[in-house]
């Protein structure tokens, strides 16, 4: 029997079996973990537990260090059926964008430096022309995300004044983005017009005073009002704003640079359309349907963009070189729309056919069932969502695996078990089963590899 006094010192452990730990995790971190292992052993021994030997102590410290060295931001398999899942990081970037971002991280870049004159340049220069080319807008700038874009535009163009918005468009996007709250933070007084289901041109006209600073249209991304409804179209509203002598801002939310219907996807307004319909400023997200990194695009009239760029908030909300590089590379792909579904992962997943997904489900049925012997696995038809508030009503026909087991909490227990895997598998629970929608599974091996972990 070993006694408490036989416990080795930290120094002896570091000189002996703990040396490898110091090599791998650094001396300070390894010393700390060994100290904790020794303290735990002492406590356990006082309670009558066995006094461990040096190898056992080092193994305990190693387990703790390994658990702590796992990245906190873990890659997962998104089998939720929601392609642009905000909580799972939205769009996946194109390879070209990933490479561009990596290059920007590795090297100095001419971020705000004009290589022709050697004078100071502007960081928007790298993407402005591309954005204008793809949207038909006169000018453009980019900030941290679309919420920031909306905040900045409101503050720059209407601070201390009123912004007129339809009651049918006072949306909450999720993650505490509510149009009325953003307005208040921007120092803009909200003037609501119309009703939840019906707003008319006369409602907007009647709200115009000498305090009006802006008219705002918000794309109702994540809900739809149906039945007895009326909304004022963007061109009509543009005419009203022009008469009132104030700019019209159109927050598209997702917005797309190409017409999605060419791939059989539900129609979503394009930025080019919104610009052509007379909006003076259009805002949209980088990591929704556009398929790039998180960003907020602001496009429109050159004089207004210049005012926005002079606002001090712009400096606080600006983008770094890494994301600018990724945005530029992503936008370049839009010059060849015919190859977008190959190159943009988001679009590739959105346009995957039900048959292709069903074939994958059929292939995976037997091996997955063999890995989960306590459960019943079936191939099912299901419906994917685009996500991030884009086109919420329309779903995409998809296929997947439905896994059910004994006991009412079987799906929850299995879901927890799959979340605990080294590469967590995230599904959704429906009708007493865990559903794995395979639309966003990159290949069969990704799921089998993850599940094969004990
Ligand atoms: C998503 C969305 C936003 C917020 O965009 P983020 O890029 O998430 O900040 C704002 N407005 C609308 C209409 C949206 O759909």
Residues whose CB falls within 8 Å of the CB of residue 278, separated by 6 or more in sequence, listed in order: 234, 235, 237, 238, 239, 242, 248
Least confident of 24-33, 92-101, 168-177, 270-279: 168-177
Q: Measured from the CB, is residue 253 less than 6 Å from ligand 1? A: yes
Average pLDDT over residues 6-34: 93
- The confidence band for 118, taking pLDDT boundaries of 50, 70 and 90, is very high
Instruction: Write the class of the CATH domain 129-318.
Output: alpha beta
Dihedral (CA of 392, 393, 395, 401) sign? positive
Residues whose CB falls within 8 Å of the CB of residue 443, separated by 6 or more in sequence, listed in order: none
Q: 421, 77 in Cβ contact below 8 A? A: no
Backbone angles phi, psi at 384, to 5 degrees: -90, 160
Residues whose CB falls within 8 Å of the CB of residue 61, separated by 6 or more in sequence, listed in order: 18, 21, 30, 33, 34, 36, 37
Task: Quote the pLDDT of residue 101.
Answer: 98
Alpha carbon nearest to ligand 1 atom 14, residue: 253
162-166 vs 139-143, strand pairing mode: unpaired
- The confidence band for 361, taking pLDDT boundaries of 50, 70 and 90, is very high
DSSP 113: B
Task: Quote the pLDDT of residue 452.
Answer: 94
Task: Quote the pLDDT of residue 394.
Answer: 81
Ligand 1, residues 86, 177, 185, 323: which to mutate, most atoms within 8 A of Cβ?
177
Task: Quote the pLDDT of residue 389.
Answer: 67
Distance 285 CA to ligand 1 centre (A): 6
Please identify, by atom number, the ligand 1 atom nearest to the C-alpha of residue 221.
15
Task: Write out pLDDT tens, residues 267-293.
Answer: 888 999 999 999 999 999 999 999 999
Task: Quote the pLDDT of residue 71.
Answer: 81
103 class by beta-carbon count within 10 Å (0-12 exposed, 13-18 middle, 19+ buried) = middle
* Alpha-carbon span 390 to 312, nearest angstrom: 31
Backbone angles phi, psi at 437, to 5 degrees: -75, 120
Q: Does domain 77-86+350-451 have CATH number 3.90.1150.110?
A: yes
Alpha carbon nearest to ligand 1 atom 15, residue: 253
Give the DSSP H/E element, type plus range, for residue 272. Answer: helix 271-276
Helix (H, G, I), strand (E, B) or coil at 269: coil
- Crossing angle for the helix pair 321-333 and 95-106, to the nearest 10 degrees: 150
pLDDT of 225 over the 90 cut = no
Alpha carbon nearest to ligand 1 atom 3, residue: 253
- The confidence band for 390, taking pLDDT boundaries of 50, 70 and 90, is low
Q: Measured from the CB, is residue 146 less than 6 Å from ligand 1? A: yes
Alpha carbon nearest to ligand 1 atom 5, residue: 146
DSSP character string of 187-201 = T-EEEEES-SSB--H
- The confidence band for 4, taking pLDDT boundaries of 50, 70 and 90, is confident
Task: Quote the pLDDT of residue 183.
Answer: 94
- The confidence band for 391, taking pLDDT boundaries of 50, 70 and 90, is low
Helix (H, G, I), strand (E, B) or coil at 139: strand
Q: How far is it between the farthest Cα atoms of the chain?
A: 93
Residues whose CB falls within 8 Å of the CB of residue 408, separated by 6 or more in sequence, listed in order: 432
pTM exceeds 0.75: yes
pLDDT of 264 over the 70 cut = yes
Q: 351, 341 in Cβ contact below 8 A? A: yes
Task: Write out pLDDT tens, residues 296-352.
Answer: 999 999 999 999 999 999 999 999 999 999 999 999 999 999 999 999 999 999 999
Distance 288 CA to ligand 1 centre (A): 9
Q: 326, 292 in Cβ contact below 8 A? A: yes
Q: Where do the H-state alpha helices sit in 194-233? A: 201-207
Task: Give the mean pLDDT of the chain.
Answer: 94
Q: Measured from the CB, is residue 387 less than 6 Å from ligand 1? A: no
Q: Measured from the CB, is residue 389 less than 6 Å from ligand 1? A: yes
Ligand 1, residues 218, 224, 251: which to mutate, most atoms within 8 A of Cβ?
251
- The confidence band for 173, taking pLDDT boundaries of 50, 70 and 90, is confident
* Rounded percentage of the chain residues whose pLDDT exceeds 70: 97
Ligand 1, residues 87, 173, 217, 387: which to mutate, most atoms within 8 A of Cβ?
173
């Amino acid at each position: 029997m070993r006694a408490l006094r036989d416990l080795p010192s930290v120094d002896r452990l570091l000189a002996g079996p703990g040396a490898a730990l110091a090599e791998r995790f650094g001396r300070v971190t390894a010393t700390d973990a060994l100290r904790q292992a020794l303290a735990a052993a002492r406590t356990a021994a006082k309670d009558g537990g066995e006094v461990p030997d040096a190898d056992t102590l080092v193994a305990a410290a190693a387990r703790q260090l390994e658990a702590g060295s796992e990245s906190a931001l873990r890659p997962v398999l998104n089998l939720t059926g929601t392609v642009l899942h905000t909580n799972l990081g939205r769009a996946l970037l194109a390879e070209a964008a990933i490479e561009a971002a990596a290059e920007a991280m590795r090297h100095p870049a001419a971020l705000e430096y004009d290589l022709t004159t050697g004078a100071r340049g502007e960081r928007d220069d790298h993407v402005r022309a591309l954005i204008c080319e793809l949207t038909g807008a006169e000018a453009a700038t980019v900030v941290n995300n679309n919420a920031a874009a909306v905040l900045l535009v409101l503050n720059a163009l209407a601070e201390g004044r009123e912004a007129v918005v339809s009651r049918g468009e006072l949306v909450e996007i999720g993650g505490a983005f509510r149009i009325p709250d953003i307005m208040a933070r921007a120092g803009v007084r909200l003037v609501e017009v119309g009703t939840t289901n019906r707003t008319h041109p006369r409602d907007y006209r009647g709200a115009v005073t000498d305090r009006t600073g802006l008219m705002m249209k918000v794309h109702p991304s994540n809900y739809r009002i149906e039945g007895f409804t009326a909304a004022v179209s963007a061109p009509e509203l543009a005419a009203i704003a022009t008469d009132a002598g104030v700019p019209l801002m159109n927050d598209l939310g997702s917005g797309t640079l190409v017409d999605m219907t060419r791939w059989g996807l539900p129609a979503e307004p394009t930025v080019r359309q919104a610009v052509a319909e007379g909006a003076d400023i259009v805002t949209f997200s980088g990591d929704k349907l556009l398929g790039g990194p998180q960003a907020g695009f602001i496009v429109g009239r050159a004089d207004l963009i210049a005012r926005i760029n002079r606002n001090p908030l712009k400096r606080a909300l600006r983008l770094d070189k890494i994301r600018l590089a990724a945005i530029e590379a992503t936008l370049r792909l839009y010059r060849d729309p015919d190859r977008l579904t190959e190159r943009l992962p988001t679009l590739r997943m959105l346009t995957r056919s039900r048959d292709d997904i069903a074939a994958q489900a059929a292939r995976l049925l037997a091996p997955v069932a063999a890995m989960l012997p306590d459960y019943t696995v079936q191939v099912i038809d299901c419906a994917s969502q685009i996500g991030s508030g884009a086109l919420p009503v329309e779903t995409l026909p998809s296929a997947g695996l439905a896994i059910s087991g004994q006991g009412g909490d079987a799906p929850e227990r299995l879901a927890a078990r799959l979340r605990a895997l080294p590469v967590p598998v995230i599904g959704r629970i429906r009708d007493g089963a865990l559903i794995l929608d395979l639309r966003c599974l990159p290949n069969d091996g990704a799921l089998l590899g993850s599940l094969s972990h004990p």
